[in-house]
Amino acid sequence: MELQRILSYIFFLLFLLTISGESVWGNEENQGMKTVNCQKSSGFRPTKLFVFGDSYADTGNNPKSLASSWKTPYGLTFPGKPAGRYSDGRVLTDYLARFMGIKSPLPYQWRKYAPTKLRSGVNFAYGGTGVFDTGNFQPNMSTQIGFLEGLIEESVYAKWDLKSALALVTVSGNDYAAYTSSGGSDQGLPTFITSVVNQISINLKRIHDIGIRRVVVGGLQPLGCLPQITVSSSYNQCNDTQNLAVNFHNQLLQQVVETLNNNTNSSAFLILDLFSSFNTVLKNKGEFTGSLRFDTPLKPCCVATTSESNCGSLDENGKQLYTVCSKPEGTFFWDTVHPTQAGWRAVYLTLRSSLNQIYY
């Protein structure tokens, strides 16, 4: 009965993929920034970056008392100690800021301690969050957008500041993890995916309506390739069923972005194609990017030593309940969910040539 239910679910997703005209793995020859209804406009050079989302973009917002990102060995590569990033070093936000030629925006929770550093924008992303509440008691995306509105009301930013700003939005699967952990059914998943993407659409429009000229939203990465899933195959094989669901999410996202661009008669909304870029790096083991080879790309660098522990866990005597690989720079994944700095760099390099579309 369980097999029959899974097969029915797969056939449903395959049907959706067929009618959309998309392949299951996406168009990897054209990975990067997907744009819809792109019309050139001249002279846009963003000098500020506002970030909304989760741990793929968070650079230090989650509370130190709760988040693994503030525990050793996180931050091992950069800055050499835990600094609130869910990696051994830099994450997606840092690489996008580097591409723009600005400093990585200050995490929102530190704004009062360094008010003079807000000129590059603000990072409102909180690890573990989603477009809906995910149960981690941190601000979801709607609340994060409200934080920016609050700064505008406080005159920290003026309307003209926003016209020279770019927004990055990441939605990396926490809503779906919360759906599964709360007993959500396979049959109800397509409807829930639709509700998640519809909320993303509402959030994107709200960000743009505030006055931010261009909004970049990340497509969902291949969740079936995360180490928390591939551990069941000894880190040798992705779960294609989960990636079919991811593809459905990304197709719906493509549709809502097209609608938003049509409604604004512009190309204000862009999709950062993380699905194809992750797959390209994982399948090529990073070789084409000029990075060190990722010999076992699905295996994480930081691995828990017990079923109850995670990367960064200690026992009651302070003994480490995890191991760390000798070369994080040769590993794509840092822990069971997040890329290493080298992994993010490889993803960035696959996207870099298409990032210029931000300026049109």
What amino acid positions are annotated as catalytic residues?
Answer: 55, 335, 338
- Which strands, in side-by-side order, build the sheet including 165-169? 33-35, 269-272, 214-218, 165-169, 48-52, 121-123, 106-107
Q: Please give the backbone phi and psi of residue 39, each rounded to the nearest 5 degrees, phi first.
A: -125, 130
Give the separation between CA 218 and CA 57, rounded to whole angstroms. 10
**Does the N-terminal peptide bond of residue 79 adopt cis geometry, omega within 30 degrees of 0?**
yes
Give the separation between CA 130 and CA 179, rounded to whole angstroms. 11
CB-based contacts of 27: which residues, under 8 Å, 6+ apart?
A: 276
Q: Which of 348, 197, 189, 161 is nearest to 273 (CA)?
A: 348
List own/partner pairs for 232-240 with CB under 8 A and 24 or more apart. 235/296, 235/298, 235/299, 235/300, 236/298, 237/298, 238/282, 238/298, 240/24
Separation of first and last alpha carbons in the chain: 52
Burial of 47 (0-12, 13-18, 19+ CB in 10 A): middle
Give the separation between CA 213 and CA 200, rounded to whole angstroms. 17
